[in-house]
Amino acid sequence: MFGALLIPTVATLIWSVVFGGSGLFMELQGEASISDCVNKTPEAGFFLLFDQFPASIVLNVTELVLIAIFFVTSANSATYVLGVFTSSRELDPSKKVLIIWGMLLSSIASMLLISGGIDGLQIRSNHYSTSLWNHNDLYDGFVVQKSEGGSQGKSEN
């Protein structure tokens, strides 16, 4: 049980320390101007860092594979959660429900990327998450008011 928490955490910590420290060291020593590249195109910074190491092609391909695994895992998790929510909280939603949600999510993401690129996707995801956050606040307020039994306006003498 703790392995599922500790192993990814330790691996991420080591990854961040090694490559983050290497990037800072190279920037401070003047070996690579990573900050200039990141200011222009943030997504290219990591690949520029990898270009400074031997076997940079292997590191770049490994990073692309890890990014792909991250996106597939995230999409699978989102599909599963939406499937559970729309299946009356059944923890094993049918394949049909999962396929429908997977196709809907991939279609929506594709349309957003085509219509506005990554900026359009970020703007819309911020908008929708803020709307959901406000919805949850309203719901929480309703639940609190309901649990108080509508005692507002009554004196408690």
* Any domain includes 71: yes
- Report how far apart, in Å, the C-alpha atoms of 14 and of each of 3, 39, 59, 137 are: 16, 25, 16, 38
The pLDDT value recorded for residue 57 is 93
Cα-to-chain-centroid distance, residue 41: 20
Tens digit of each residue's pLDDT, the chain (157 residues): 678 889 988 998 998 899 889 988 998 998 888 888 888 888 888 888 889 889 899 999 998 998 889 888 988 999 999 999 888 888 899 999 999 999 998 998 888 778 776 676 666 666 665 555 555 555 555 555 555 555 454 444 4
Residue written as token pair 């991939």? 106
Structural domain harbouring 75: 26-93
Provide the residue count of the chain.
157
The pLDDT value recorded for residue 98 is 94
* Any domain includes 117: no
The pLDDT value recorded for residue 153 is 46
* Any domain includes 100: no
53 CB-near residues (< 8 Å, 6+ apart): 22, 59
The pLDDT value recorded for residue 155 is 47
b (16+ CB within 10 A) / e for 90-127: eeebeeebbebbbeeeeeeeeebeeeeeeeebeeeeee
Whole-angstrom distance between the N-terminal and C-terminal Cα of the chain?
A: 52
* Any domain includes 17: no
* Any domain includes 79: yes
Number of domains making up the chain: 1
* Any domain includes 88: yes
* Any domain includes 124: no
* Any domain includes 116: no
